[in-house]
Structure 1
């Protein structure tokens, strides 16, 4: 396997993994019980927080779809990768600056690991265009 083929495989892997991670919350669209189980939280009484969390799940579904499309369409990788990094690292920054529980800490660590993987994928994607 030549280096270029190996690099392309790693880039695709990074986008596929981050896409799948962002697909998981999509199940929250099916209602409160799945949201509460997925995040190990109680959403309280009323529907307001459930609606907000379902909207979050929908947006993650859009990010996941874009990431999975970027696996096969290289021209999507930079804009999708940047958007996903902003989303994940933004969540990490918001979480770090405030007290939070175990559920948020778990999501934060998943986002940190996924961000590192995606950043490596993006660097490998642009490497052939860089001249050092």
Structure 2
């Protein structure tokens, strides 16, 4: 069976989206990884570290959903919408208030990935499957 080029492009887009959402998983390794990844200091105590590690875990779940969506078309809408809400939510939150360079970098990566994912979802909507 010959897979159309658009299907390959959709799969690649979901894999890229999954990889972007998998990057924060490194934060599960501890405070220093979180501080290095985000270019921030988490301060004293462990509460913020716990919250950020939980955030990393949730991003890992979203990454897994995107990887599954790359292979299973029935997962594309739910995973795609969840990923778009995640990425565009960060872009909106960051755009509405002052932020540093590390957040600006994340914001631009998320904005670009969201545009790419929108293309993937539009291609999926037009696909015959």
Q: Deviations over 1:4-46 (max 9, x none)?
A: 6110011001100010011110010110011111111111111
Q: Which residue of 1 aligns with 2:123?
A: 124
C-alpha distance in 2, partners of 1:20/1:44?
A: 28
CA–CA separation in structure 1 for the residues paired with 2:33 and 2:127: 43
Q: CA RMSD in A?
A: 1.2
Partner in structure 2 of residue 24 of structure 1: 23
Trace 1:82-121 onto structure 2 (pairs within 5 A): 82-121=81-120
1:85-122 deviation per Cα after TM superposition (whole angstroms, max 9, x unaligned): 01110111011000000111010001001001100000
> Under a length normalisation based on structure 2, what TM-score does the superposition of the two structures give?
0.95
The answer to whether residue 58 in structure 2 is matched with residue 59 in structure 1 is: yes
Determine helix, strand or coil for the equivalent of 1:46.
Answer: coil
Aligned length: 127
Deviation >3 Å, runs of 4+: none
TM-score, length-normalised on structure 1? 0.93
Structure 1 Cα separation of the partners of residues 11 and 71 of structure 2? 7
Distance in 2 (CA, whole Å) between partners of 1:101 and 1:52 is 20
> In structure 2, how many angstroms separate the alpha carbons of the residues matched to 1:75 and 1:128?
12
CA distance in 2, matches of 1:25, 1:128: 32
- Indicate the SS of the match to 2:99: coil
Give unmatched runs, 5+ long, in structure 1.
none
